[in-house]
């Protein structure tokens, strides 16, 4: 078989130049926040229980730090998926986040500035020549306060090469017995209980011990239902919910005809929004339909990279508690969550220090794996925790 080629030269025309943003039509509301944490399996009462949140340090519901990614019409991938790469498809490769302090609350209008950053082409076993492209998103509130910066990585590759390398032994979902499912629910509850036990209290920096393990978190088994629920929690997937980009053309980006469609097309949305809805037609349907998953190199339905990033952010933030804050994280996505699998997250405290701004920080890592031990993602983060008074 002839080795595929990948022409990425058009990307050079966009690097360092802001691209058109998308804007949410209405301000954030508490329903948006609740829908998000429900879809991300994050039962932190700060983000869905108004009575509980009223007793918190904020006195009201706040969005989780992971919520920033839904303030974009492409999961943050727009500036990392610009420029024509013919006959290609894309997957999420990772995200790096910097958080600056302001929290998102109902009534906020979040603006996103998008700037393509860089790219590199490498050979991979999955698809031969593969483009790793990065782009920056700057999320601001209506006061102009910078909430977060996201540096997203997209993996762009030959659709034909991905299709040729689909692992056929992975077409079927694993089967879980009733006893196994009951055991999984018990394991899940241990992490949820950690959230309840900490409550509104502080997790003190002084008590953090280098080398200590973070609690295990289990999500799944994943299904088409859970992935579709994730999709619908992104505000841009709601018909009429976003002022769409007018410069977006999936075929012009190089997506093959079968996967391009009219996803997020503002003209077609006014005619027939089903044609613009990636759950039905376009590049996003590979997540929800096994036929189209295999067409782009996945054995069966698979989860969203941005959701995987949210699971990581929520894992760290849930442990840190309402008085802690993730300041920086870097996540690498190696393989998506597949239908029928579970995702197991574990972590370790790597270091504790006082940074140059006088903040008391802990460095942590985490590892996401499925039930067979295959690594799905890894991450490191620096988290600010309160210092116990002298």
How far apart (Å, rounded) are the C-alpha atoms in residues 299 and 308? 18
Window from 45-59, 78-92, 209-223 with minimum mean pLDDT: 78-92
251 pLDDT more than 90: no
Q: Which tens digits make up the pLDDT trace of 132-181?
A: 999 999 999 999 999 999 999 988 887 676 556 556 677 888 999 999 99
Count of helices and strands (H, E) across the chain: 9, 11
Contact in structure between 119 and 134 (CB atoms under 8 Å): yes
Residues 6+ apart with CB under 8 A from 348: 211, 212, 213, 214, 364, 365
Between 351 and 263, residue with greater pLDDT: 351
> What class is the 9-175+193-384 domain?
alpha beta
pTM for the predicted model, two decimal places: 0.92
The pLDDT tens digits of the residues spanning 84-127 come to 988 887 888 899 999 999 999 999 999 999 999 999 998 888 77
The C-alpha atoms of residue 21 and residue 113 are separated, in whole angstroms, by 6
pLDDT, residue 81, reads 87
């Amino acid at each position: 078989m002839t080795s595929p080629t990948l022409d990425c030269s058009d990307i050079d025309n966009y690097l360092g130049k802001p691209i058109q943003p998308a804007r949410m039509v209405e301000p954030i509301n508490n329903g948006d926040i609740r829908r998000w944490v429900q879809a991300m399996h994050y039962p932190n009462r700060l983000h869905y229980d108004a009575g509980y949140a009223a007793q918190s340090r904020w006195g009201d519901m706040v969005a989780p730090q992971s919520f920033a990614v839904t303030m974009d019409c492409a999961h943050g991938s727009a500036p990392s998926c610009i420029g024509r790469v013919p006959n290609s498809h894309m997957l999420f490769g990772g995200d790096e986040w910097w958080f600056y302090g302001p929290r998102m609350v109902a009534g906020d209008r979040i603006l996103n500035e998008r700037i393509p950053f860089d790219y590199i082409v490498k050979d991979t076993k999955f698809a031969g020549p593969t483009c790793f492209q990065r782009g920056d998103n700057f999320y601001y509130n209506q006061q102009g306060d910078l909430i977060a910066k996201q540096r997203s990585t997209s993996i762009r590759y030959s659709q034909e090469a991905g299709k040729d390398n689909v692992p056929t032994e992975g077409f079927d979902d694993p089967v879980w017995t009733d006893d196994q499912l009951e055991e999984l629910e018990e394991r899940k509850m241990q992490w949820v209980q950690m959230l309840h036990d900490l409550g509104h209290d502080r997790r003190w920096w002084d008590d953090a011990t280098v080398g200590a393990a973070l609690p295990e978190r289990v999500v799944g088994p994943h299904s088409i239902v859970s992935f579709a629920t994730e999709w619908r929690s992104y505000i841009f997937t709601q018909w009429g919910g976003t002022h769409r980009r007018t410069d977006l053309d999936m075929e012009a980006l190089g997506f093959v005809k079968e996967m391009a469609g009219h996803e997020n097309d503002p003209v077609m949305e006014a005619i027939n929004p089903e044609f613009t809805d990636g759950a039905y037609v376009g590049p996003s349907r590979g997540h929800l339909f096994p036929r189209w998953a295999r067409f782009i190199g996945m054995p069966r339905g698979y989860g969203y990279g941005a959701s995987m990033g949210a699971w990581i952010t929520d894992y760290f933030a849930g442990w840190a508690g309402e008085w802690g804050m993730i300041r920086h994280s870097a996540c690498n996505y190696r393989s998506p969550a597949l239908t029928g699998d579970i995702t197991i997250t574990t972590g370790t405290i790597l270091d504790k220090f006082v940074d140059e701004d006088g903040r008391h920080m802990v460095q942590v890592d985490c590892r996401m794996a499925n039930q067979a031990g295959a690594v799905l993602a890894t991450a490191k983060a620096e988290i600010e925790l309160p210092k116990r008074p002298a």
